[in-house]
A and B are shown apart, each in its own frame.
Chain A
Amino acid sequence: MFQNRREGLALALPAAVFACVVFLVPVAILLSEGFRGAAGFSLTPYVEFFSSALNRAVFLRTLKLGALVTLVAAVIGYAAAYAIVNLSPANRGRVFGLVVLPLMISPVARTYAWLVILGRTGFVNQALTLVGLTDEPIRFLFTETAVFIGLLQLFLPLMIISLISALENMPRDAVPAARVLGASWLQVFTRVILPLTKEGLVIGGTLVFTGSLTAYITPAILGGSKVLMLETLLYQRVTVANDFASAAVIAMILIVMSFSANLLLKRLARARGR
């Protein structure tokens, strides 16, 4: 540990100054526009934003889809992570690699694949027509379902990774012991696995939830202007309506949500370190 503070500051300063100039200051000015009325400080942009039924619907839809994706990712994530942890070491590495693989692929490419699958002449519709379940192609694109599926595929790997490390840290004999003592699988899950992997669940859940809230590409491609979410609404407010006050309000909502999630994570990490 070196004591020379001036030297240390000189090394750290360029990065901090850069982050301030190209990042903190512009973002702060943008956020301040949400508090600007005709005469100085005011909350008018917020009042106006939330007085629109469309905006409220988008806000609630974003929260709803975020929560739903997180919930479903948690359920699937537990099943998948439990299965992976119980594989032989060689297979575990291979399957883990396949789970992580999608994270390397551009979100545009991943979302684009769902166009091919869910489109009018897509895979699912062709299969359904072939089996004779429908005569008319079913509309999947530009529905909440399509956005939900796209987001789930995008963020499920993050949940699985978090739960795998949580399950690996669990005492090995906990589950067999509970079973021997007569617990049902449901009891094993709620009384043993869940309490022991709570942290992994919170970390995975935060990553999935904030990821879903702040995703742009998936709602833009699979939801279009029919299923607006906060990010796509922000883009639309700026490009179509030139409405920077609304954009500032949306930016504030997104940052507050993302920031509180990160604060929660930090607190959790500190509690674990103790």
Chain B
Amino acid sequence: MSWKRNAGWLSVLLIFLSGCATVALNAGFDEVSVAVAERGAGKIVWNSGTDLDKEAAEKVSSLLKGGLTADEAVQIALLNNRDLQAIYSDLGIAQADLVQAGLFQNPVFDAAVLFPVSGGRPDLDLSVVMNFLDVFYVPLRKRVATARFEETKLKVAGAVLDFARQVRTAFYLHQANEQMLELRRTVVQTLTASLELARRLHEAGNITDLDFARERALTEAARLELRTAEMAERQSREQLNALMGVWGKNTEWRTGGRLPDIPAQTTAGDDLERLALSRSLDLSIARQRIIAAGEQLGFNRATALIPEPTLGPLGEREEGWEAGPTVELSIPLFDRGQARIARALTELRRARQEYYGLAVRIRSVARAVQDRMSGSRDRALYYRDILVPLRERIVNEAQLQYNAMQLSPFELLRAKEQQIETAAAYIEALRDYWLARTDFAHILNGRLPGLDGGGARSEEGRMKMNGREAH
């Protein structure tokens, strides 16, 4: 084998191996984008200093101008939240890993110069060695990295969906807080009127200091509750500001009206568990983990007993130039790869168990979320159709009784207050429904919403409603 021939063969191989190995910055994002859009979460853009960025910014500012809906808030957050942009970078990293996996190890150039003690011309020992089995290993490594890349894409899509859920939940909580604030204001208005009436009676000498003080205590307590409601409203607004990534003037957005009414029943029915499983991104991720683990195992098996030979041309000048190939082999004497194989095998087993465990969890969460949704739907409807009209009827009847001077004006105002408290309880029930519905959509979009029940349900309103007695 002549030197020349060897060198020519090698250079062709090197060029071939390095030819396709470039990193695409937006790799995988389009797929993620499609997956997210398919699941109704909205449009996503990866800010990359292109015209698209400008378009997105314009979209955000135009959306912020109108009264926001939940969908719009989600869209703004998807386009404008920088933390989410940061998550997209995972795609680039995974893609880079994939490219990395496809690269051959660089050849090693080895040069040695030996100076004879006796003097004379130094001996030159030159070699270029490379791990020639890379030719076989690269596809294996690429398979592992591809599986990981797929996993990353799914993970990023999942993160986007999780984020969208978070925004939607925060939006509903805020919308409910706004309405609650409005109701608290009306309660204060009612009790202030009641207090004013009591003040007039007290002034005229018709009621005792005791009764007046009692009336005042009710009103002052309501005023304190109003402060709490104001604070809650500001807090939830701030949370949305952070999620939507807005600051400065852009925080002057407003919501477009009230919590939507209960829509017609959405039933996934008996199919729910199957749908939840088939659409589960989490399961797909787990599946990719199994695949990656499997590929890793295959790779480890393939490389376990095979020494890592390096092969290269060696040129040596002792007397004159001598040339020949050089081969290095590790002898699988101590490490026969058994540990690496066992590890990969265990990882695979773990991935499999996790997959099945996840599937069971998804079924359970799907059932639980569906139950939560239909339960909160029933509650909200019960308030809307039974209790709220009943409280209204009570106010009307109390007004009639007041007209006939059978009922004191304080009792009439108390009836009004109880009507408002019932409206507040209805808002809470409606909010809980929308939170449950968000989670239900989330699980059908392939993500686990967790069993925390979305937003914490407030027992406060109901307790107040039951606890406050007309006096």
- Do A and B come from the same complex? no
